[in-house]
Amino acid sequence: MATVLSAPSAAAGVDFSLSAEQELLVEQVRRFAEERIRPGVARRDREHRFPAEVIAEMAELGLLGMLVEEAYGGAGADSLTYALAVEEVARVCPSTAVTMSVTNSVCCWPISRFGSDRLKRAALPGLAAGGQLGGFGLTEPGSGSDAGSLRTRAVRDGDSWVLSGEKAWITNAGFASWYVVFASTDPPAGKRGLSAFVVPADAPGFAVGEPEEKLGLRASRTAPLVFADCRIPAGNLLGEEGQGFRIALATLDHSRLGIAAQAVGIHRRALELAVAYARDRVQFGAPIAEHQAIRFKLAQMSTELAAARALTYAAALVSDQPGQAERAGRLAAQAKLYASEAANRACAESLQIHGGNGFHQDYEISRLYRDVRVTTIYEGTSEMQRLVIARVLLRG
Amino acid sequence: MEIELTDEQKLLRDTVRRFAEEVVGPRAKEIDESGEFPRDFFDRAGELGLAGVSVPDEHGGAGMDTVSYCLVIEEVSRLCATSGVILSVNNSLVCDPLLKFGNDEQKREFLRPLAAGEKLGCFALTEPGAGSDAAALRSTARRDGDDYVLNGNKVFITNGTDADVALVFASVDLAKKHKGIAAFIVPTGIPGYSHGTHEFKLGVNASGTTELAFTDMRVPARQRLGEEGEGFKIAMATLDGGRIGIAAQAIGIAQAAFEEALAYAQQREQFGHHLADFQAIQFYLADMATEIDAARLLTWKAAWTKDQKKRFTLEAAHAKLFASEMAQRVTNKALQIHGGYGYTKEYNVERYFRDARITEIYEGTSEIQKMVIADWVLHHD
């Protein structure tokens, strides 16, 4: 995995090219996704089967700890390189992409950013290079967009923290070895009383509930987590007590890049499928690509893809620049908002171009149409992105 | 990849912004109403190097890149879309083809004064019966000794009332259709050349839009740009670049509308709260900012691709389509945020809303951009 940490100087000017290392990685991940992920995609979707064997190979390629420093076994890649990799995987299998994105963005990233050296040494090498997966426990049955209202508790007991509560909609639940979990250490303080913890899957009192049946991303695992006096070492506190909400927001600011990139990958595939189908499908004696109504749909999808991509890449770029946190947060929210909404439109239009065939499970677009739907919901709904963006605009 | 401007570009942007705010802005409303062509703005822009931004120094221009050109057009259009298109036409549609297709003599005689802002150019392609279907033009150029004799009519010619030089497209052989078209550099004072009066339009009202008529107009053969039959190719290549300018113009209009809507929302109170406290208004603002940023990135990407000397047809069409339709949505929402006041001449958003409309039409309608993009998507992947 290439390491691209040096940002070009500001004086170099606008440049939309990828570095040689980035081009190489894109090529490598594209080939891997086509050869190793593609063959089982439709079946895993039908059987709701987690892509365990694929994940093991992705770990070998270094795709699970891309943002982790090399000292802890990661690839030390920049955020743009990471987004490019997620896009390539999502183009072939959005379920695998979110499995990858959750491990990288919302588990490895906050541990790297906020963890003590001891905690990093304990958790990161297995995640980044050992084939382990990560999870992120923020959402609860009663607290979705309003994350600050969560009810899971953590109480200090000697050298331990004891967690009790329930988390919902947890991607990678049951397959992950480590979870970044948010709980209140000071309930009267509200969101200022939240703290973040790193919970190993083998902690006593930790359990995973029944997997959810979902509209899409059926090969990704989503299930509740249950903490019944779950005991973890005191050193597994991430950052300081009371920093949990800030850690959650910072993590989501960054992780939105992963979801934006996932949406871009799905959008790209929806357009490719539409182009191929429109060329082949003959009606009224000619390929339907000859009809202007179809061509204009393709043009619109292509234009919106270019816009979504530009926003996503720009957000990734800025997220690595020091002192740009507010701008980076706004750009990531804009990228996630636009890319997810545009990808939903693209999948709907691509399915429309496929006609009745698009409604059949044998056609890839029918799966993408289901898979793409969640991109405007998870890691901050479109409505939450607009609130984040507006807050920055009105502050400035 | 990098999206930071160079220090020089930032300096240019600040300089042009100051020029636009101090010189162009104060009279934008007045010229919109009167329709008076702001020749003095063009002259002063020329002194700053804005008439031929991307033309090399040795040909009288400012020698800057295409991203810089986008900044110029955006900043001027932010205050006055009319002035933005006047500059865009001179830069993209006249200087650019002269630089790319002109011979040394043509560059010396015609490009230099245009790029320096001493002379104003216009681009004469569209005819009453040939809009999007430019190849259907009926103007003719008959060879006669060392001259061509041109006859025909052009319409919707920006800068037409004031131009000193026209780039005219006419057919040397109508039977050859687009392969019969040639381009001519025509000084506008010559016998047989005439132009109409300024036409009042919905927006960009002071851009000198008018019709041209050529009656047995004699043009020396040395003023033919490129070869006979190359005219259509020249026109299409030129419009690729022009689309970057129009995208930048659309962004400038939208940026102004957004800034004023943001300020208005924070100052106007209803139901005991500022408008900006309402989620519906916040969401409008969030979408507007997102789309403006996306349009700017697409436009810079097209400009950067052009500067890499790569084919940029797709990037320019993406940018022009997205930016113009974005400007339409953004100015509409800005007007909506202003409520009834936005519908009056008391606030600028009414003008921005009208000015944005043309960006979806000229230099290739949205429908033409979609034809270009679809063709690319179906044949170049």
* A89 contacts A96 by C-beta, under 8 angstroms: yes
Kindly report the length of chain B: 381
- Judged against a pLDDT cut of 90, whether residue A2 lies above it is answered with no
Q: Which of residues B229, B253, B285 is at a domain's end?
A: B229
Instruction: Tell whether A293 is within 8 A of chain B (Cβ).
Output: no
Mean pLDDT, rounded, for A256-282: 98
- Judged against a pLDDT cut of 60, whether residue B30 lies above it is answered with yes
Instruction: Tell whether B264 is within 8 A of chain A (Cβ).
Output: no
Per-residue pLDDT tens for A184-241? 999 999 999 999 999 999 999 999 999 999 999 999 999 999 999 999 999 999 999 9
Tell me the residue range of the domain where B208 lies.
122-229
Q: State the pLDDT at residue A3.
A: 28
User: Looking at the structure, do residues B360 and B264 belong to the same domain, yes or no?
Assistant: yes
User: Looking at the structure, do residues B291 and B306 belong to the same domain, yes or no?
Assistant: yes
Q: State the pLDDT at residue A11.
A: 58
Mean pLDDT, rounded, for A71-87: 97
User: Looking at the structure, do residues B319 and B334 belong to the same domain, yes or no?
Assistant: yes
Instruction: Tell whether A298 is within 8 A of chain B (Cβ).
Output: yes
- Judged against a pLDDT cut of 50, whether residue A165 lies above it is answered with yes
Are A298 and B287 inside 8 Å of each other by CB? no
Q: Which of residues B81, B103, B119 is at a domain's end?
A: B119
What domain count does chain B have?
3
Of B232, B76, B297, B112, the closest CA to residue A312 belongs to B297
Q: What's the N-to-C CA distance of chain A in angstroms?
A: 39
Of B86, B3, B1, the closest CA to residue B44 belongs to B86
- Judged against a pLDDT cut of 60, whether residue A374 lies above it is answered with yes
- Judged against a pLDDT cut of 60, whether residue B174 lies above it is answered with yes
Are A307 and B303 inside 8 Å of each other by CB? no
Percent of chain A whose pLDDT exceeds 70: 97
Are A15 and B293 inside 8 Å of each other by CB? no
Beta strands of A188-288 (E only): which ranges?
194-200, 206-208, 222-233, 237-238, 282-283, 286-287
Q: State the pLDDT at residue A10.
A: 46
Rounded CA-CA distance A298/A290 in Å is: 12
- Judged against a pLDDT cut of 60, whether residue A9 lies above it is answered with no
Let me know if residue B138 belongs to a domain: yes
**Residues in B 329-368 with any Cβ partner in A closer than 8 A:** 367
User: Looking at the structure, do residues B88 and B134 belong to the same domain, yes or no?
Assistant: no
- Judged against a pLDDT cut of 50, whether residue A357 lies above it is answered with yes
A233 burial level (CB within 10 Å; 0-12, 13-18, 19+): middle
Q: What's the N-to-C CA distance of chain B in angstroms?
A: 22
What CATH number has the domain bearing residue B191?
2.40.110.10
Let me know if residue B48 belongs to a domain: yes
User: Looking at the structure, do residues B203 and B240 belong to the same domain, yes or no?
Assistant: no
Q: State the pLDDT at residue B309.
A: 96
Nearest residue on chain A to B373, alpha-carbon basis? A299
Let me know if residue B1 belongs to a domain: no
Q: State the pLDDT at residue A6.
A: 35
- Judged against a pLDDT cut of 80, whether residue A382 lies above it is answered with yes
User: Looking at the structure, do residues B241 and B366 belong to the same domain, yes or no?
Assistant: yes
Beta strands of B67-146 (E only): which ranges?
121-124, 140-144
Rounded CA-CA distance B196/B189 in Å is: 14
Q: State the pLDDT at residue B381.
A: 60
Let me know if residue B2 belongs to a domain: no
- Judged against a pLDDT cut of 60, whether residue B303 lies above it is answered with yes
Of B135, B124, B131, B16, the closest CA to residue B79 belongs to B16
User: Looking at the structure, do residues B297 and B332 belong to the same domain, yes or no?
Assistant: yes
Let me know if residue B126 belongs to a domain: yes
> What is the DSSP secondary-structure string of A74-137?
S----HHHHHHHHHHHHHH-HHHHHHHHIIIIIIIHHHHHH--HHHHHHHHHHHHHSS-EEEEE
What CATH number has the domain bearing residue B68?
1.10.540.10
Rounded CA-CA distance B51/B70 in Å is: 13
User: Looking at the structure, do residues B194 and B294 belong to the same domain, yes or no?
Assistant: no
User: Looking at the structure, do residues B131 and B256 belong to the same domain, yes or no?
Assistant: no
Rounded CA-CA distance B83/B23 in Å is: 11
Per-residue pLDDT tens for A85-119? 999 999 999 999 999 999 999 999 999 999 999 99
Nearest residue on chain B to A383, alpha-carbon basis? B283
- Any residues with CB less than 8 A from the CB of A357 and at least 6 apart, and which? A277, A363
What is the pTM (predicted TM-score) of this model?
A: 0.95
User: Looking at the structure, do residues B188 and B100 belong to the same domain, yes or no?
Assistant: no
Average pLDDT in chain A: 95
A241 burial level (CB within 10 Å; 0-12, 13-18, 19+): middle
Let me know if residue B238 belongs to a domain: yes
What CATH number has the domain bearing residue B360?
1.20.140.10
Rounded CA-CA distance B143/B272 in Å is: 74
Nearest residue on chain B to A279, alpha-carbon basis? B378
User: Looking at the structure, do residues B268 and B133 belong to the same domain, yes or no?
Assistant: no
Q: Which of residues B229, B254, B276 is at a domain's end?
A: B229
Q: Cα distance from A280 to chain B (closest Cα, Å)?
A: 11
Percent of chain B whose pLDDT exceeds 90: 99
User: Looking at the structure, do residues B352 and B222 belong to the same domain, yes or no?
Assistant: no
Per-residue pLDDT tens for B88-113? 999 999 999 999 999 999 999 999 99
Are B1 and A334 inside 8 Å of each other by CB? no
